[in-house]
Structure 1
Amino acid sequence: MQRAGLSDMDEAAIARAIHVTAVVNRIGGAAMANTVLLPLMRRKGAPAETRLALLEAVEGRFVWQARIATVLAALSGLYMIQRHDLWTCFASPEFWWMHVMLAAG
């Protein structure tokens, strides 16, 4: 079924690109916060108020990125499952990672 001039292959590529980009953004942001930002906040050089203000500023910018990335990853993942009729994969132990993705979502 072709919609809006896109082939099935184009739709699959777009959905996968959205999914991978969203996951990389979400996991990369969390990794940056835990490996860069939090250790920086623990340093005693700056006053606690300054460290807290910096943490809140960074968190305020990232929280919406994380929320949008989570929604995009969930929607694109569900789209791919539905579009390619992958629901039966949930009954097979070899696709355990699909359960993990849904639980982590």
Structure 2
Amino acid sequence: MPRTPACGLFSRTPSRTAWSAGGNAYAWTAAEQLASLADQVQEWAVEALWSEGAPAVRPHCPAHPDMHPPAATIVVSSAVWVCPKSGATVARIGELEHC
């Protein structure tokens, strides 16, 4: 995989660098950072809701509201929520109408 400049100076896509234990660098795009953050926040929300005895499906998957939440991922360089069952894009992260 070609390396992306860590500072984003030579790329139109801003990025941040993460370092592995072995010293290898990996440049994260803004979309990857957003999807990762959304995934972490979703995990915290689900754990908090579950510990309170509340339904822990957040955000709701529009096609399967009580079965599973959508998953945060990258599709065509955008951070989006996708249905884990069908793979269909639900919405861009930050643009869901109802959670």
Calculate the TM-score normalised by the size of structure 1.
0.36
Higher-Rg member (1/2): 1
